[in-house]
Structure 1
């Protein structure tokens, strides 16, 4: 007989949990605080254009994502595009991302180029991450690429993505990010990335429809207030002041919410959750009349820009206007996180016109800001050892978020794969 299971959070991982539970004959009830499904993949109406609040792309290695597209009959809506990378450095826009671009790059000695190229190549070929798990990332990179390439190509990425946390990150975690992009290349010189027609909303809608078809339910604008535990066993949830009975609970909300959501956990477990750190993001989305560059991804190293890069999404997914994402990652407690949207808009206008002096104010149609407090887990060395097990010492309770597929970085495919495995654990 099927079980009635609460799933907390309707991001990709929560949807994957609910989808697998429903497929296996159980009744998932998904509780989501937002007014829409999707979490960081959710879309919004950008003056007539439905687009995601935070950019996403897909690599040919995203097997769990591609697998669920097949199951849902969406595989034919996947599109693959040869994309370009660029580097804005010393007031110049330079090609980036392949051996020719590295050789021609202005600002590095030949020795530094060789060391960097060897490092990137070996990262893409490496499969075993365990030896890097306890290694600190900045020292590891500097030892490989040298002080010159570190300063030009890496330091500002750490400074403007992780701030004071940048000097204590796991090398395994950074390696996985290098490898994923490196393996998206279909030869040494060309990169291929993918998008789904209609964006992530195409997948979100299909998952929701299939879950409901199989008997699952969705409760939007319904944040769980407390997981109710009695005698070491889950009994259900408190939602809007009322108790709702469930056989089991699977939480996929960001881990910093867990101590308030499940205060009856053992104290040592609560302390583990409380010790985890996350980076926030203020993501500015710009709609323009003409392209900024020809690149999908543009790294930046500029003393006048407090960003490590930007994404020109319309160079991946064709659109009527140019769409650029400019993410400002910073700790949630940093004073800049409280700056007004207009403060960020002013910076972005200045950055865009500096990169492309042909842009005018009239070319910038509209800007929007999205904020997410727990956008990126901070994975320090031996990170997995510091996480409580997903199966907590409470009967019928599982907790996970994107942290749990470390050393992989947060991504739709990884969330789907982990979520489906989590569902199978919960009903085993």
Structure 2
């Protein structure tokens, strides 16, 4: 048995701590927030328990299904036919299946053929090693054409990544296309999943089983420093107290690692510091009526400064319409400093433009959630930038969502990597 400290009780940290305690280790899980779950945690939205940041499940998310089965909640997985659309040229256009592509009015016939072939090819690809050196812009322009990138992609990437828009990895984008493309009932129908009760149901099941097995969860306990002696971890100082450890698993965002582990070699700290992250202000609206029939709408309008909206209630049935509007951006952008009320007002004005039948009277509630480190920016050849999970300090493993590359952030990848880190705790580490 080793004494293990896991830093961060998001999905990855929970999975790591749960796996470690199942393997017989003595585990302390420390979390700065007042609740476990990280981005998967729920909050009370006017009487409705809902995710602070939206989540959906794809049919390829095998690590999630395996974990749910082991926790005894596998029968709570639900599937629903969903669709996506583009808001462009003042109108809504369905997207994501062959007939929708053929009817799309803003592409030429050749652009439609090239786009269809490229997206279908990405869905069928086993890996994307051949395009790892390309930016997403280069990949899309070579496959679908410059006009397609300019019409469908450029505005979306600029409104999410801003100054990093032309530094996004082709492999990262193509992997996202593949994940959604493989989550279908057939060629013409997308199908996405949700957990009955939301992602909180999975968080609760993990916490319950973790504590029943003897694991200790410490909330409102921010990690201050990983303690090191003679090149080996000895514990973690968090919340003003010391937690002795033979092994430490850190799941905090990479920009925080250098400060948390000052004993790392300078060259290693530089690798973590070199990975840029952007933040998100995720706005949540509760409405009396639906905005569109679609789950996901990409917004490409020159005078609407959002990349899209997610009508979550078109996936998970809820008593009211629930819509997420994410404002991703580097926290250095002036817009990040705007108060929540200003962003909520702006986003709601866009919702009313997308569906002019919606009025102020339809707004029941609205909230905003912020994260400074919400999305790593994965550049071409990003896999070469990622430091090893096992650090130069014996007993210390470090990973965050950028280690999922080329996969994007998601519960399935959190579970996969978290459990693997627990399994990789060195045998005899407590000796």
Q: TM-score, normalised by structure 1?
A: 0.98
* Cα shift readout 1:305-336 (whole Å, capped 9, x = no counterpart): 11111100000000110000000000011111
Q: Deviations over 1:30-77 (max 9, x none)?
A: 010000001111111101001011000001110000000111111111
- The answer for the alignment partner of 2:243 in structure 1 is 244
In structure 2, the residue matched to 1:314 is 313
Aligned to 2:19: 20
1:241 Cα deviation after fit: 3.1
Deviations 1:259-281 (A, max 9, x none): 11001110100111111100110
Structure 1 distance, partners of 2:39, 2:393, is 29
- 5 Å-filtered alignment, 1:154-193, equals 154-193=153-192
Residue 127 of structure 1 is matched in structure 2 by 126
Residue 343 of structure 2: SS of its match in structure 1? Answer: helix
Aligned-residue offset at 1:246: 1.1
Taking the aligned partners of 1:275 and 1:149, their CA distance within structure 2 comes to: 31
Counterparts of 1:364 and 1:304 in 2: how far apart (Å)? Answer: 22
1:93-149 superposed Cα distances (whole Å, 9 cap, x missing partner):
111110100100111111111111111000001112222222222111111111221
- Report the RMSD for the aligned CA atoms in angstroms: 0.9
| 4+ long deviations beyond 3 Å | none
Query: 2: CA distance between counterparts of 1:402 and 1:121?
Result: 27
The structural deviation recorded for 1:242 is: 3.1
Q: CA deviation at 1:427?
A: 3.8
Q: How does 1:109-148 map to 2 (within 5 A)?
A: 109-148=108-147
CA offsets per residue over residues 3-25 of structure 1, 9 Å max, x none? 11000000000011011101111
Deviations 1:362-401 (A, max 9, x none): 0011110000111111011111211221100111100001
Contact 2:5 2:243 in 1 (8 A): no
> Is 2:123–2:177's contact at 8 Å kept on the other side of the alignment?
yes
- Runs of 5+ in structure 2 lacking a partner? none
Secondary structure of the 1:210 match is helix
Q: State the alpha-carbon separation in 1 of the partners of residues 404 and 241 from structure 2.
A: 33
TM-score, with length taken from structure 2: 0.98
SS at match of 2:50: strand
Give the 3-state SS of the residue equivalent to 1:299 in structure 2.
Answer: strand
* 1:338 counterpart = 2:337: yes
Whole-Å separation in 1 of the counterparts to 2:385 and 2:85: 37
Match of 1:258 in 2: 257
Provide the residue aligned with 1:51 in structure 2. 50
SS at match of 2:167: coil
SS in 1 for 2:279: strand
Instruction: Give ranges in structure 1 of 5+ residues lacking alignment.
Output: none
Aligned to 1:79: 78
- Distance in 2 separating the partners of 1:251 and 1:29: 12
Distance 1:340 1:409 in 2: 28
SS at match of 1:398: strand
For residues 27-426 of structure 1, what are the structure 2 equivalents within 5 Å? Answer: 27-426=26-425
Instruction: Give the secondary structure class of the aligned counterpart of 1:280.
Output: strand
**148-157 vs 407-416, which moves further:** 148-157
Cα distance in structure 2, aligned partners of 1:333 and 1:280:
9
SS in 2 for 1:95: strand
Number of equivalenced pairs: 427
1:243: Cα distance to partner?
Answer: 2.6
- Please report how far the alpha carbon of residue 252 of structure 1 lies from its aligned counterpart in structure 2 after TM superposition: 0.6
Q: Deviations over 1:194-213 (max 9, x none)?
A: 00011000000000010111
**Cα distance between partner residues in 2 of 1:27 and 1:334:** 43
State whether residues 395 and 426 of structure 2, in contact with CA within 8 Å, keep that contact through their aligned partners in structure 1. no
Aligned partners of 1:237, 1:361: CA distance in 2, in Å? 50
How far apart are the structure 1 equivalents of 2:65 and 2:300? 34
Q: Shift in Å at residue 166 of structure 1? A: 1.1
